[in-house]
């Protein structure tokens, strides 16, 4: 029980790295709702997705029953580049806050992609290679997912084609250069390489692009190019499966020291980090073996859980992808321009949506300025400059720790530090210059998007 016994950083031995992913769906009584064909509104069949996605990934996507998936040796081998990631006891933060709470964070940013995204990109690249494909396509906004994918493709010798939203391509060239270092081809979107790109450019010659358009280009390129498939970095069930390594490592590290968390906190955009972090803990909760408070933290400017509808919606603005039942703000919803960092997706992982609907999780939304205040405080005492996304979890953790200070409770809090903010310094600059603002959509605005939700019951 002594604090001194727990080191600042708990690194697992390489032999302790999990050898199986955990599929939380196996323990869910209410499974996530099936994907629907956007044309027929009938449940998607695996074979319908085969032109777009890799075979084994489709199998993972549909599998609600298999509890553990063995992690292929090739992926375990790549893990050695950047895993195990440290579980850090935030002694410095606790001291600064003067809280009796015990705070831990699982730090997934110690790799060149700068985030947890690598956990899924390595898996998706591996299965693409195994299927004998030549390459994969994807879209990226600021470039976090594209960077992670380019690293994985370099390792497996796979071609990597990234459509990057044009405004980011031009204004945020640094992640683009990281991708090029790893051999990816990065195309500003919209481009003349695809029919959809040509069409958009013809209609809107000066457009700076959008994530929805980049998705459409990446999908078109994949289905029209021999030996290519499309890959995606969040929201999907398969992604949460791959990300379960975060939570599994966290649990092994805590178990070594006999620590049982009271509260687990993660930021939530599409849900890939949160779903991965909480997976084994949620499993225990679903099986009635343990109880934890699990808190999703989202930006007040993009509040899918806290203000969205639980309904079938399009996953993409182009409305070509399957429909998913999820907490959504509507597929046309785009956060206000003052919104910094990621966590800008209109929907939410169907798995997490079901768990939230069933009362297994809580959600809070936090304002942007308060998030950066938490980020700066954290950076100064813990030494790591956090990504804006991760800083949502830091904000909520600090708030819970301060509640403990008031009540005197020695709660144990674990949160996910998904990545570093080295490529997000434009947002930090706005914060330092007092130019950061907090914009929250009104109920009326949200209603206009809800009115456009597809009518499926």
Contacts to a second copy by CB under 8 A? 7-9, 11, 13-14, 80-82, 91-92, 110-112, 114, 151, 154-155, 173-174, 177-178, 180-183, 375-376, 379-385, 420, 422-423, 425, 428-429, 432
Residues 387, 418 contacting (CB under 8 angstroms): yes
Between CA 286 and CA 294, with CA 292 as vertex, the angle to 5 degrees is 90
Question: CB of residue 171 vs a second copy: minimum separation in angstroms?
Answer: 13
Question: CB of residue 439 vs a second copy: minimum separation in angstroms?
Answer: 22
Question: CB of residue 419 vs a second copy: minimum separation in angstroms?
Answer: 12
Question: CB of residue 218 vs a second copy: minimum separation in angstroms?
Answer: 22
Question: CB of residue 175 vs a second copy: minimum separation in angstroms?
Answer: 8
- Select 47 or 433, whichever has its Cβ closest to a second copy: 433
In the β-sheet with 159-165, what is the strand arrangement from edge to edge? 185-189, 159-165, 135-140, 228-230
Question: CB of residue 56 vs a second copy: minimum separation in angstroms?
Answer: 24
Give Cα 341 distance to the centre of its chain.
12
- Select 372 or 450, whichever has its Cβ closest to a second copy: 372
Question: CB of residue 409 vs a second copy: minimum separation in angstroms?
Answer: 26
Rounded to an integer, what distance in angstroms lies between the CA atom of residue 437 and that of residue 370?
10
- Select 257 or 422, whichever has its Cβ closest to a second copy: 422
E-strand spans in 73-192?
87-89, 102-107, 135-140, 159-165, 185-189
Helix count and strand count (H, E) for the chain: 18, 15
Rounded to an integer, what distance in angstroms lies between the CA atom of residue 59 and that of residue 256?
34
Question: CB of residue 42 vs a second copy: minimum separation in angstroms?
Answer: 43
- Select 382 or 400, whichever has its Cβ closest to a second copy: 382
For residue 142, what are the contacts with CB-CB under 8 A and spacing of at least 6? Answer: 168, 172, 175, 341, 342, 423, 424
- Strands 102-107 and 87-89 come out as antiparallel
Residue 61 CB coordination number (10 Å): 19
- Select 26 or 379, whichever has its Cβ closest to a second copy: 379
- Select 319 or 379, whichever has its Cβ closest to a second copy: 379
Q: Which token pair is 231?
A: 């890959």
- Select 9 or 403, whichever has its Cβ closest to a second copy: 9
Question: CB of residue 159 vs a second copy: minimum separation in angstroms?
Answer: 14
User: What b/e readout covers 366-397, taking b as 16+ CB neighbours within 10 angstroms?
Assistant: bbbebbbbbbbbbbebbebbbbbbbbbbbbbb
Question: CB of residue 345 vs a second copy: minimum separation in angstroms?
Answer: 25
Residues 214, 320 contacting (CB under 8 angstroms): no
Q: Which among 185, 244, 228 is positioned nearest to 54, based on CA atoms?
A: 228
Question: CB of residue 134 vs a second copy: minimum separation in angstroms?
Answer: 18
Give Cα 197 distance to the centre of its chain.
26
- Select 49 or 398, whichever has its Cβ closest to a second copy: 398
For residue 429, what are the contacts with CB-CB under 8 A and spacing of at least 6? Answer: none
- Select 199 or 380, whichever has its Cβ closest to a second copy: 380
Phi/psi for 21 (5° steps) reads -85, 150
- Select 86 or 269, whichever has its Cβ closest to a second copy: 86
* Secondary structure string (H, E, C) spanning 32-44: CCCCECCCCCCEC
- Select 33 or 245, whichever has its Cβ closest to a second copy: 245
Q: Which token pair is 113?
A: 């992609």
Rounded to an integer, what distance in angstroms lies between the CA atom of residue 72 and that of residue 114?
23
């Amino acid at each position: 029980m002594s604090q001194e016994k727990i080191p600042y950083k708990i690194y697992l031995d390489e032999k302790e790295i999990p050898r199986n992913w955990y599929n939380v769906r196996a323990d869910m009584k209410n499974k996530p709702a099936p994907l629907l064909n956007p044309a027929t509104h009938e449940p998607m069949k695996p074979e319908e997705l085969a032109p777009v996605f890799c075979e084994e990934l489709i199998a993972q996507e549909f599998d609600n029953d298999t509890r553990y998936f063995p992690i292929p040796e090739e992926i375990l081998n790549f893990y050695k580049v950047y895993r195990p990631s440290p579980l850090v006891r935030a002694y410095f933060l606790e001291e600064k806050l003067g809280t009796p709470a015990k705070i831990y964070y699982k730090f997934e940013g110690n790799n060149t992609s700068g985030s947890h995204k690598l956990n899924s990109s390595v898996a998706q690249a591996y299965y693409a290679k195994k299927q004998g494909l030549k390459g994969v396509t994807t879209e990226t906004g600021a470039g976090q997912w594209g960077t992670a994918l380019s690293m994985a493709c370099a390792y497996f010798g796979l071609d990597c084609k990234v459509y990057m939203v044009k405004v980011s391509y031009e204004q945020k060239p640094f992640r683009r250069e990281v991708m090029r270092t790893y051999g990816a081809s990065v195309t500003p979107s919209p481009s003349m390489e695809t029919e959809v790109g040509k069409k958009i450019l013809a209609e809107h010659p000066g457009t700076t692009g959008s994530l929805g358009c980049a998705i459409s280009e990446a999908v078109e390129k994949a289905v029209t190019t021999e030996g290519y498939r499309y890959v995606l970095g969040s929201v999907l069930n398969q992604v949460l499966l791959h990300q379960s390594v975060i939570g599994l490592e966290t649990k092994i590290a805590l178990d070594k020291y006999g620590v049982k968390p009271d509260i687990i906190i993660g930021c939530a955009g599409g849900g890939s980090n949160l779903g991965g972090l909480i997976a084994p803990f949620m499993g225990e909760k679903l099986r009635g073996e343990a109880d934890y408070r699990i808190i999703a933290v989202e930006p007040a400017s993009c509040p899918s859980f806290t203000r969205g509808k639980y309904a079938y919606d399009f996953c993409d603005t182009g409305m070509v992808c399957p429909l998913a039942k999820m907490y959504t703000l509507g597929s046309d919803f785009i956060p206000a321009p003052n919104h910094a960092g990621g966590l800008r997706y209109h929907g939410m992982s169907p798995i997490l949506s079901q768990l939230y609907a069933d009362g297994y999780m809580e959600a809070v939304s936090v304002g942007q300025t308060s998030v950066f205040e938490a980020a700066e405080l954290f950076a100064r005492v813990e030494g790591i400059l956090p990504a804006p996304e991760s800083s949502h979890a830091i904000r909520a953790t600090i708030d819970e720790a301060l509640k403990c200070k008031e009540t005197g409770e020695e709660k144990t809090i674990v949160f996910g530090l998904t990545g570093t903010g080295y490529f997000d310094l434009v947002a930090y600059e706005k914060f330092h210059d007092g130019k950061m603002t907090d914009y929250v959509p009104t109920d009326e605005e949200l209603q206009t998007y809800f009115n456009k939700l597809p009518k499926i019951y």
